[in-house]
Amino acid sequence: MASLVLRNLVKTYDKTTVLHGISLEVEDGEFIVFVGPSGCGKSTTLRLIAGLEETTAGEVEIEGRVVNHLKPKERNIAMVFQNYAIYPHMTVRKNIGFGLRTSNLTKAEKMARLEDVASVLEMTELLDRKPSQLSGGQRQRVAIGRAMVRDPAVFLFDEPLSNLDAQLRTQMRLEIKKLHQRVGNTIIFVTHDQVEAMTLADRIVIMKDGHILQVGKPSDVYHRPANTFVAGFIGAPSMNMLQCTVDGGLARLASGPDIQLDIDVSQGRSVILGVRPDDLHPSGDNPFLKGTVTVREPLGPDTLIYVDTPSGEVIAKADGQHPPDIGETVQLSASRSRLHVFDAETGMSLDSNA
């Protein structure tokens, strides 16, 4: 059974519509990540699910029950906030136990559940500390603990890692993933970081301007982006986009050899050829781009090279130990199967498998 269903959700503030009919079905135990740039409506969607905002139109259904008119506490959800929102005047024990204040459990049951959560999060030693005595990562764990202790149908995470430093973020990301594997609850996670989205999600929901642009497994949205926005947003560095015109089934770049397209595109139509930097390498085999290296970014095993070509600047991946020099002319090639074709006007993918 789907644990969460969103049906045509619309949210309007005054005269501005920030969500234009969001629909999604989330299976029980699924880890869903909403990702998109600032202002795309991902946090608003989360707040509508939580009941912190009222929907203008549409339905939110949790565990088969429409919850639009229920208060947040009646929705069987728990939320972890970006700023953690753990109460500074309470100890860790009281913070975690706070979610059980209004439950019908006996005192002994509450204690047992609190101890259980503290042990899962490895916080038993810290239960009597105040938040000011905790590190950023520990505070985040307290916030997660407060959500876990209620054993909700759906966990909502609102950019919970964005305030942590890079190292801690990676560590907490792993912990959240392990936690999900252990407890198995449904998680809706909002982030603007596509790496977080890729690493955590069972399915990613990519949003822009209040619309869902694509929903799919991380590998799907990476390898088969539905449009240029998804193609550019997922993957770092972004996909290279090259303007082409179609001539007799061939994509013609500003210079260089024409590229045979496997898809049926009408004559003279403008298309965008997308190729990820990971798939574009300096090589002598069937190169289709030629240009001068302007910048090198060593990453260790690989080096990113920025190449100035007649079709614009592109990023390619070169060998980490022997990258081309700056100013050197290189020929770039990519496997045909790694090329993506988008309609230049609509931005939608023209790939047959997208």
Partner 1 sequence: MGSAVAQIRASSKTLLASGRPRTSASTGQVIRWLILFIGGVLMVMPIAYMISTSLKWPHEIYNLALVPNEPHLENYTYVLEDGRFYGWFVNSLVIATITTISNILFDSLVGYTLCKFRFPGRYIVFIAILSTLMIPTEMLVIPWYLMSQAFGWLDSYWGIMFPGLMTAFGTFLMKQFFETVPDDFIEAARIDGLNELAIWWTVAMPLVRPALAALAIFVFLGNWTAFIWPLIVTNSVDMYTLPVGLSSFGDEADVQWELIMTGAAISTIPTLVVFLIFQRFIIRGVVMAGLKG
Q: Which residues bind partner 1 (CB under 8 A)?
A: 50-52, 71-73, 77-79, 81-89, 98-99, 101-103, 130-132, 134-136, 139, 146, 150, 163
> At its nearest, how many Å lie between partner 1 and the CB of residue 86?
5
Helix (H, G, I), strand (E, B) or coil at 313: strand
Tell me how far apart the alpha carbons of residues 307 and 208 are, in angstroms, rounded to a whole number: 29
- The answer to whether 170 and 113 have CB atoms below 8 angstroms apart is no
Q: Residue 92 or 354: which CB sits closer to partner 1? A: 92
| Residues in contact with 281: Cβ distance below 8 Å, sequence separation at least 6, in sequence order | 316, 317, 318, 332, 333, 334
Work out whether strand 329-333 and strand 312-319 pair parallel, antiparallel, or are unpaired.
unpaired
Cα–Cα separations (whole angstroms), residue 59 to 4, 45, 215, 283: 10, 12, 19, 53
Shortest reach from residue 139's CB to partner 1, in Å: 6
Query: How many Cβ atoms from other residues are within 10 Å of residue 270's Cβ?
Result: 12
Buried b / exposed e along 155-174 (16+ C-beta atoms within 10 A):
bbbbbbbeebeeeebeebbe
Q: Considering beta carbons, is residue 139 or 317 the nearer one to partner 1?
A: 139
Are 131 and 86 a contacting pair, CB within 8 Å?
Answer: yes
Of 150 and 340, which CB lies nearer to partner 1 in the complex structure? 150
Q: Which is nearer to partner 1, 104 or 266 (CB)?
A: 104
Beta bridge partners of 156: 79, 188
> Of 38 and 337, which CB lies nearer to partner 1 in the complex structure?
38
Phi, psi of 255 (to 5 degrees): -155, 170
Of 336, 337, 353, 349, the residue nearest 265 (C-alpha): 349
Shortest reach from residue 126's CB to partner 1, in Å: 14
In the complex, the smallest distance separating the C-beta of residue 158 from partner 1, rounded to whole angstroms, is 9
Residue among 140, 108, 107 nearest 121 (CA): 140
When the beta carbons of 84 and 288 are compared against partner 1, the nearer one is 84
- By CB atoms closer than 10 A (0-12, 13-18, 19+), residue 119 is exposed
Q: Report the residue number, 12 or 163, with the smaller CB distance to partner 1.
A: 163
* Least distance from partner 1 to the Cβ atom of residue 118, Å: 17
Nearest approach, Cβ of 55 to partner 1 (angstroms)?
16
Min CB(231)–partner 1 separation in Å? 33
Tell me if 69 sits within 8 A of 225, measured CB to CB.
no
Q: How far is the CB of 164 from partner 1 (least distance, A)?
A: 8
Cβ closest to partner 1, residue 173 vs residue 317:
173
